[in-house]
Amino acid sequence: MWTVAEARARLAGVIGGPVSPFRPDLSLDLAALEENTARMARHPYSALLIAAGIAEFFSLTPEEIGESVAAGVCAAGATPVVGTVAFGLETGRELARRQERAGAAALLVMPPYYTQPPFEGLLAYYRGIGEATGLPLIVYSRDWAVFTPEQVARLAESVPTLAAWKDGQGDMRRYQRIMSLVGDRLAWLGGAGDDAVPGYYAIGVAGYTSSVSNLAPRLPFALVEAAGRGEYARLGRLMERYVHPLFALRDRKRGYEVAVMKQAMELLGRKAGPVRPPLEGLQPEEVERLRLVVEDLAEFERSAAGRG
């Protein structure tokens, strides 16, 4: 368990995000989750984010979420695990307490169940989650949960355990204004995707959450290194060769941001399984396109491992 100050300091660099592996009957495969988490933990991720968006959080039962975080903590070893909460206030509070007992270092708070709440209601929601546990919180601003700079400042003032902000909108103009107003009160994370790394690092984020970590665990570090050093030509080559082809497939259909990653893992021989409805799997011709992308990612990993 981190303190708020520790969370602000340590939520930097690259945060990995394992998927939730499912068996053919769509049951949760905890052994596969442990295997995938342990593989990811061999790399220097600042934390591993369990049961979040790429892990089909909203398809999981509260019991599965708690079991996933416990399994992740067991498999991650010395790498801190960030758990995930959402739904209604009481369910969110119980999830927070359960994951604190399981050994999570911090909690990502997804938007709650209601999609058109007043801001004062959202403020009460985040404050209520924070009061249920001593764990530092990371608010995930995604989908309909869009905030003004002034609203983020109020949240930072009103929720003592709020330590970080994860952007899932990819609106760099808005995010830069938020960061400018609130300053170092929070750690700033990118969360819209590996394809947004150039924009995020241009405005000065501390780190970002990577779904590519499931496929090519060394690639996110190469992206951050190039961005941090201002090596924009190198960063552009990495994006063009490895990231953009993958995200072009993800953009073909809603939900493919998960389905493509799980199918790619299967092509690499890693257990991921199918997606749960209402998400859909890829079409056969899309799998063949993805196979070429995966071959490139595997070649990058082999080359990077040889250099390291």
On whether residue 290 sits in a domain, the answer given is no
On whether residue 99 sits in a domain, the answer given is yes
On whether residue 137 sits in a domain, the answer given is yes
CATH code for position 119: 3.20.20.70
Contact 33, 225 (CB under 8 A): no
On whether residue 262 sits in a domain, the answer given is no
122/307 Cα distance (integer angstroms): 48
pLDDT tens for 89-120 read: 999 999 999 999 999 999 999 999 999 999 99
- Domain range spanning residue 205? 4-229
Confidence at 308, pLDDT banded by 50, 70, 90:
low
pLDDT at 306: 87
How many domains does the chain contain in total?
Answer: 1
On whether residue 104 sits in a domain, the answer given is yes
DSSP state of 142: -
Instruction: Work out the number of other CB atoms within 10 angstroms of the CB of residue 183.
Output: 10
On whether residue 250 sits in a domain, the answer given is no
Q: Is the pLDDT confidence value at 214 over 90?
A: yes
Contact 13, 83 (CB under 8 A): no
β-sheet bridge partners, residue 81: 48
pLDDT at 307: 82
Compute the Cα dihedral for 239, 16, 34, 78 and give only its sign: positive
On whether residue 93 sits in a domain, the answer given is yes
227/49 Cα distance (integer angstroms): 22
Please give the C-alpha separations between residue 230 and each of 198, 226, 227, 237, in angstroms, as whole numbers: 10, 6, 5, 13
On whether residue 280 sits in a domain, the answer given is no
